[in-house]
Structure 1
Amino acid sequence: MKAAAVQLRVDADRATMIQRAARLIDAAAEQGAHLVLLPELFSLPFVQPEPDLDYFAHAEDPHDGPSNRMAADRSRAHGITVISSVFEATATPGVYHNTACTYVAGELRSLYRKSHLPFSNGFPEKFYFRPGEHPPETVDTGQTRVGTIICYERHFPELGRHVALDGGSVLAVPVASASAPMREVFQLELRAHAIFNTMFVLCANRIGTEGAKDYFGTSAVYDPDGQILAQAGDSGADELVLAELDLDRVTQRRHTRPFLRDRRPDLYAR
Structure 2
Amino acid sequence: MTVTTRAAAVQLSVGHAPADAIALALSLIERAADEGAGLVVLPEIFAAPFVQPEPDPDYFAYAEKLDGPSNAMAAEVSKRRGITVVSSIFEEREVAGVYANTACTFSNGELVQVYRKSHLPFSNGFPEKFYFRPGDEAPSAVDTTAGRVGTIICYERHFPELGRAVALDGGTVLAVPVACASAPMKDVFQLELRAQAVANGLYVVCANRSGLEVAKDYFGTSAVYGPSGEILAQVDDGDGIAIADIDGDLVARTRRTRPFLRDRRPELYTSLAR
Q: Which bin holds the TM-score, normalised by the shorter protein?
A: over 0.9
Please name the residue that 1:155 is paired with: 158
CA distance in 2, matches of 1:107, 1:248: 26
1:176 counterpart = 2:179: yes
1:262 counterpart = 2:263: yes
- Give CA-to-partner distance per residue, 1:192-241, whole Å, 9 cap, x none: 000010111000001000011000000001111100000113xx321111
Secondary structure in 2 aligned to 1:86? strand
Please name the residue that 1:226 is paired with: 229
Please name the residue that 1:54 is paired with: 58
Please name the residue that 1:239 is paired with: 240
State whether residues 42 and 88 of structure 2, in contact with CA within 8 Å, keep that contact through their aligned partners in structure 1: yes
State whether residues 10 and 43 of structure 1, in contact with CA within 8 Å, keep that contact through their aligned partners in structure 2: no
Please name the residue that 1:121 is paired with: 124
Counting aligned pairs with the same residue, the percent is 66
State whether residues 4 and 242 of structure 1, in contact with CA within 8 Å, keep that contact through their aligned partners in structure 2: yes
Alpha carbon RMSD of aligned pairs, Å?
0.7
Please name the residue that 1:29 is paired with: 33
State whether residues 10 and 42 of structure 1, in contact with CA within 8 Å, keep that contact through their aligned partners in structure 2: no
Residue 259 of structure 1: how far off its partner (Å): 0.2
Alignment gaps of 5+ in structure 2: none
Matching residue within 90, 93, 113 for 2:96? 93
Q: Look up the equivalent residue of 1:268 and give its one-letter code.
A: Y
Residue 246 of structure 1: how far off its partner (Å): 2.1
State whether residues 39 and 146 of structure 2, in contact with CA within 8 Å, keep that contact through their aligned partners in structure 1: no
1:107 counterpart = 2:110: yes
Aligned residues: 267
Structure-1-length-normalised TM-score: 0.98
Residue 262 of structure 1: how far off its partner (Å): 0.3
Secondary structure in 2 aligned to 1:87? strand
Matching residue within 197, 202, 213 for 1:210? 213
Please name the residue that 2:195 is paired with: 192
**Higher mean C-alpha deviation, range 7-16 or range 185-194:** 7-16
Residue 178 of structure 1: how far off its partner (Å): 0.6
Q: Look up the equivalent residue of 2:269 and give its one-letter code.
A: Y
State whether residues 146 and 171 of structure 1, in contact with CA within 8 Å, keep that contact through their aligned partners in structure 2: yes
State whether residues 110 and 137 of structure 1, in contact with CA within 8 Å, keep that contact through their aligned partners in structure 2: no
CA distance in 1, matches of 2:16, 2:221: 21
State whether residues 84 and 145 of structure 2, in contact with CA within 8 Å, keep that contact through their aligned partners in structure 1: no
- Give CA-to-partner distance per residue, 1:2-57, whole Å, 9 cap, x none: 00000001211100000000000111111110000000000000000000000000
Residue 142 of structure 1: how far off its partner (Å): 3.3
State whether residues 6 and 36 of structure 1, in contact with CA within 8 Å, keep that contact through their aligned partners in structure 2: yes
CA distance in 1, matches of 2:34, 2:82: 12
Structure-2-length-normalised TM-score: 0.96
Matching residue within 15, 19, 29 for 1:15? 19
- Give CA-to-partner distance per residue, 1:58-116, whole Å, 9 cap, x none: 00001x20000000001011010000000000111110000000000100000000000
Q: Look up the equivalent residue of 1:214 and give its one-letter code.
A: D
State whether residues 83 and 146 of structure 2, in contact with CA within 8 Å, keep that contact through their aligned partners in structure 1: no
CA distance in 1, matches of 2:219, 2:110: 32
CA distance in 2, matches of 1:83, 1:144: 13
CA distance in 1, matches of 2:208, 2:216: 13
Matching residue within 5, 8, 12 for 1:4? 8
Residue 137 of structure 1: how far off its partner (Å): 1.8
Runs of 4+, deviation exceeding 6 Å: none
Q: Look up the equivalent residue of 2:247 and give its one-letter code.
A: D
State whether residues 83 and 145 of structure 2, in contact with CA within 8 Å, keep that contact through their aligned partners in structure 1: no
State whether residues 82 and 109 of structure 2, in contact with CA within 8 Å, keep that contact through their aligned partners in structure 1: yes
Alignment gaps of 5+ in structure 1: none
Q: Look up the equivalent residue of 1:198 and give its one-letter code.
A: G
